Amino acid sequence: MSTSQTPLVEVRNLVKHFGSVIALNGVSMSVNHNEVLCLLGDNGAGKSTLINTLAGVHKPTSGDFLVDGQPRVFSGPRDALDAGIATVYQDLAMIPLMSVTRNFFMGREPLIGFGPFKRMNMDEADNVTRDEMHKIGIDVRDPQQAVGTLSGGERQCVAIARAVYFGAKVLILDEPTSALGVAQTSMVLKYINQVRAKGLGVIFITHNVRHAYAVGNRFTVLNRGKTLGTYAKNEIGIDELQNLMAGGKELQSLSEELGGTI
């Protein structure tokens, strides 16, 4: 039976092989209600494989995968979505020349009419889009404007708001701040905190320790397909976290090699 203490999503000793390539070699992590879990790791650490396994794209080779305390095997991304796990990828899956409303409701359009005369209820869709954006402080004067006219931060917020509106319990955010400036990053991080405060679980994947530390409650560090550890915010400082993620020894030796210039 699921309770508020039961992790929304938990994986234990997750392993994923692609032929002879071992992409994940024993990853354990969990995300709880009302929590931002930051998943940190350098390139090649296994973050993308883990995201795609959680999102139902890949099936794990071995290990336990639990949703609300129950073992699950997803047949595909739609199965994960139906279980309340929504993934917002870096490319956002948006069509720049289509309206904000069309992008918000893509594939889930509210319909009016009967039989062959069904059509999208554009007035309702526009009102919902405008209201949902207003809740997060984005004033979309005309929901029919092309989504490509919004800033990168605003588009990230549209994608997150879309997932929340359609019932996500766990949000997996893939490098949501990687291509953003300071102001846009701040907008997205504030919204992630709002989402967490609604009781959702957020898995925030990033290699930017400062962005992670700004909103994270716990931090799981991946290295070469393994979990190095999970730490609460009061257990680890930002510099220690950076060293753990990037490999402190490698940085230290490189700094000595370059005469202490790092």
221-255, pLDDT tens digit by residue?
Answer: 998 888 988 999 989 988 888 888 766 455 555 55
Give the Å distances, CA to CA, from 94 to 54, 65, 110: 21, 29, 18
252 vs 69, higher pLDDT:
69
pLDDT at position 127, please? 92
Is 50's pLDDT higher than 70?
yes
Q: How does pLDDT run across 117-167, given as a tens digit for each residue?
A: 787 788 899 999 999 988 888 888 899 999 999 988 899 999 999 999 998
The mean pLDDT value of the chain amounts to 87
Confidence of residue 204 (pLDDT cuts 50, 70, 90): very high
**CB count, 10 Å around CB of 146?**
15
Q: Which pair of structure tokens corresponds to residue 86? A: 């929504």
Q: Where are the domains of the chain?
A: 7-94+164-257
Helices vs strands, H then E, count in the chain: 9, 12
Q: CATH number of the domain at 7-94+164-257, out of 3.30.1490.20, 3.40.50.2300, 3.40.50.300, 3.40.1180.10?
A: 3.40.50.300
Give the DSSP H/E element, type plus range, for residue 9: strand 9-18
Is 261's pLDDT higher than 70?
no
Give the DSSP H/E element, type plus range, for residue 22: strand 21-31
Is 178's pLDDT higher than 90?
no
Q: State the residue for tokens 């030796």.
A: 253
Q: Which pair of structure tokens corresponds to residue 96? A: 């720049």
Strand 35-40 to 201-206 pairing: parallel
Q: Tell me, what amino acid is at 86?
A: A
pLDDT at position 4, please? 63
DSSP classification of residue 122: H
**CB count, 10 Å around CB of 30?**
19
Q: Which pair of structure tokens corresponds to residue 65? A: 């995968």
